[in-house]
Structure 1
Amino acid sequence: MPANFTISILYTCNSRCKTCNVWKKRVDNLTVEEYDKIFHSVGHDPYWITISGGEPFLRADIDEIAKVVYQRSSPGILNIPTNGLLTRRIPEKVEAIARSCPKQELVINLSLDGVGEEHDEIRGVKGNFKRSLETWAELKKLQKGLKNLTLGVHTVISVYNVKRIAEIEDYLVEHLEPNNFISEIAEERIELATIGTGITPLAEDYEQAVSHLQQKIRQSEFKGVARISQAFRYRYYNFVKQYMYDKRQIIPCKAGVASTHIAPDGNVWGCCIRAESLGNLRDHDYNFPKIWFNQKADAFRRSVKNKECHCPLANASYTNMLAHYPTLAAVGTDLLLNRYPKPYTQTKPNGDHEPS
């Protein structure tokens, strides 16, 4: 059974991002009662569960969903990304979730792709940046009284902001003081209805942007869990740079083994990139194992193992690193010796591309 679950609880969104068209989709969303049945069948295997969308906080019952997931599966970490537009509801629901799930780490990642009007332009909502900062200020107040609340900032690197990532990251880290700053690359996904949109930056541009993020990691002095997570993040950036040039699996992918995705209508996917239904939970008495161990799921796992697909999906990549002994050992050695590997590059000193 997978340790990493993502559940998209709706496709509806109040943003109109240039990098995502998921808001155009309409489906019959699973109810709280249905999630209760699903995670009763899942049991206590998940360690990391992400509740995503769409905009997750558009569901007024998000706190109830989080509560049944916690009661049934007791994950160590619950992660929820948000655009920050619902300035009153988000803090209210975050507090409710944190208090009803006291033994899990609640991670709220605010999505910011630029500063000021630049962010508004990419996200398609005037005043988005200002409202996001209002939400952030309320969340920071909450955090003082909630020991299990972690606040992060998340940036999608696309053709629209790739050449300003250094300035964006510097500003957000300095002014918002998040517990962590994460980024992932804009991808053309079936799930997000972005196939053929050209949102993914060039490999050379991405390399330059992420090399700055790696430099900031090297220059910072992290401690405890943050030090471990940054070591993995540094490796992730190297893997994505290599993938961007080589277009192949860099380390074995464990999608369909260690990670899974449940769509809002109950379809179970091995991953959101391929978004191939392995079965619908409504058709299988909400019994996740029935789907997870069926012939479609076995065929999906064989396909991934045979490297018939490749992608830089962030959520799955961290699970892949934890499941890949050589990477795990390398990160452990880096931490022990207090070092980081060299940033991956295929760019020559004169700026030309080095063929692989």
Structure 2
Amino acid sequence: MITKTRALSLMKRAAYNYLFQRPFCVSFEITHCCNAKCKHCHLGGHIEEQRASPEQLGQICRQINPLIAQFSGGEPLLRKDLEEIIKAVRRPNRAPYIDITTNGILLTPERYYSLLDAGVDQIGLSLDYPDSRHDVFRGVPGLFERIEKFIQSLNGEKDKAITLLCVVQRDNFRDLLRMAELAYHWKVKINFSAYTWLRTHDDNYLLTPPEAEELRQMSTKLLKFKQQHQNIFTSPYVFKKMAQFFEHRSLPPCQTGVKFFNVNPDGTMSPCGLIIKDYGTQQELQEKFSRHNTCTYCYTSIRANTEKPLYHLIADNIQVLNRF
């Protein structure tokens, strides 16, 4: 539960970062190791890597001062010091808002409560199908059932700190309403993000222009469901832009380095999880990459939700904070 004091701090940080061109969201990819073999991702397996300490990551976060600090990977739950990282970043009753993106393989009720106690606000749990097809897409037999049992184990929770994260692609976009219904049945929220081929160079999961039109029709149904049940995070603006992205396979301009960027496991910085670099500061990232950036080939959630026009940013975030 977010206190009124912290909600005010988040609103102030959002206004400051917007006015002074500071990032809304920074994704800390604290490991590139992963225990899944997802069809839409280039990562998987063990990777030898240097890792910044919790203290170093906390210092980096304070220097950047994002509105949202996201911890991802790879699979962040593979880091045994994840709770220590969260504690190093967390500032009581102040920004940033802290969330974690996980495939759910290692997520147990005990780890869930441990992460919340450390200071996590929300856990994003990847789920791309409303049934066992998710196992095939993520390369982990029994994963859907494992996720279902985990969420059901939290049924005593009045407000679960869980948001399902669904990658919208050619093989599942007709199931999106079923996904929203499943989230409602499980009493959790759901967010939708567009597939990009930049990770694997596989464009078979991209929607065709006629399918993008079908997605627009599906979005209308999802927004009606959202109005009734208030469990879908994705906004009308993002749904609109998502269909445009699939229709044109491009969506300029990308504002990485300003609105968002990534921190690598070793503490260096990259434009995003799709373009890995090793810049030492945000300023260096902007000077050497952002000013010359011509990439427009993704519409991932971090980009979609940080590049909204001011009106949509205010309206969407007021709607979120009103839940608390």
Shift of 1:24: 4.4
> Is 1:18–2:39 an aligned residue pair?
yes
The share of aligned pairs that are identical, in percent, is 22
> Is 1:6–2:6 an aligned residue pair?
no
Paired AA for residue 240 in structure 1: M
Paired with 2:164 and 2:53, the residues of 1 have a C-alpha distance of: 29
Shift of 1:261: 0.6
Paired with 2:103 and 2:295, the residues of 1 have a C-alpha distance of: 33
Match of 2:217 in 1: 211
Match of 1:185 among 185, 194, 197: 194
Change (3 A) 1:87 1:325: closer
Change (3 A) 1:98 1:219: closer
Paired AA for residue 176 in structure 1: W
1:71-123 deviations in Å (ceiling 9; x for gaps): 499434212122222253xx32332232233xxx7111221111332111111
Q: Counterpart of 1:23 in 2: which secondary structure?
A: coil
Structure 2 gaps, min length 5: 1-21, 320-324
Change (3 A) 1:184 1:220: closer
Match of 1:63 in 2: 83
> Is 1:85–2:105 an aligned residue pair?
yes
> Is 1:238–2:240 an aligned residue pair?
yes
Moved more, 56-65 or 196-205: 196-205
Match of 1:287 in 2: none
Change (3 A) 1:197 1:235: closer
Q: Counterpart of 1:97 in 2: which secondary structure?
A: helix
> Is 1:100–2:149 an aligned residue pair?
no
Paired AA for residue 5 in structure 1: V
> Is 1:264–2:265 an aligned residue pair?
yes
Shift of 1:197: 5.9
Change (3 A) 1:173 1:38: closer
> Is 1:275–2:286 an aligned residue pair?
no
- Asked which structure has the greater CA Rg, the reply is 1
Check the 8 A contact 1:188/1:196 in 2, yes or no.
yes
Q: Counterpart of 1:125 in 2: which secondary structure?
A: coil
Match of 2:171 in 1: 160
Paired with 1:254 and 1:73, the residues of 2 have a C-alpha distance of: 29
**RMSD (CA atoms):** 3.0
Q: Counterpart of 2:123 in 1: which secondary structure?
A: strand
Paired with 1:116 and 1:198, the residues of 2 have a C-alpha distance of: 21
Paired AA for residue 20 in structure 1: C
Paired with 1:177 and 1:206, the residues of 2 have a C-alpha distance of: 29
Match of 2:251 in 1: 249
Match of 1:37 in 2: 59
Paired with 2:250 and 2:36, the residues of 1 have a C-alpha distance of: 32
Check the 8 A contact 1:122/1:160 in 2, yes or no.
no
Paired with 1:167 and 1:222, the residues of 2 have a C-alpha distance of: 15
Shift of 1:215: 1.8
Paired AA for residue 251 in structure 2: Q
Shift of 1:267: 2.9
Moved more, 70-79 or 51-60: 70-79
Shift of 1:175: 2.8
TM-score normalised according to structure 1 size: 0.72
Paired with 2:93 and 2:289, the residues of 1 have a C-alpha distance of: 25
Paired with 2:196 and 2:83, the residues of 1 have a C-alpha distance of: 29
Shift of 1:218: 2.4
Shift of 1:208: 1.7
Match of 1:124 among 139, 143, 152: 139
Paired with 1:66 and 1:222, the residues of 2 have a C-alpha distance of: 34
Paired with 1:49 and 1:266, the residues of 2 have a C-alpha distance of: 14
Structure 1 gaps, min length 5: 281-290, 336-356
Change (3 A) 1:210 1:263: farther
Change (3 A) 1:206 1:107: farther
Paired AA for residue 34 in structure 1: Q
Change (3 A) 1:205 1:9: same
Paired AA for residue 86 in structure 2: A
Check the 8 A contact 1:85/1:135 in 2, yes or no.
no
Match of 1:338 in 2: none
Paired AA for residue 264 in structure 1: P
Check the 8 A contact 1:78/1:107 in 2, yes or no.
yes
Change (3 A) 1:24 1:239: same
Check the 8 A contact 1:303/1:309 in 2, yes or no.
no
Q: Counterpart of 1:134 in 2: which secondary structure?
A: helix
Check the 8 A contact 2:168/2:193 in 1, yes or no.
yes
TM-score normalised according to structure 2 size: 0.79
Q: Counterpart of 2:136 in 1: which secondary structure?
A: helix
Match of 1:48 in 2: 68
Number of aligned pairs? 295
Paired AA for residue 54 in structure 2: V
Shift of 1:308: 5.1
1:232-255 deviations in Å (ceiling 9; x for gaps): 6211010111122234435x5331
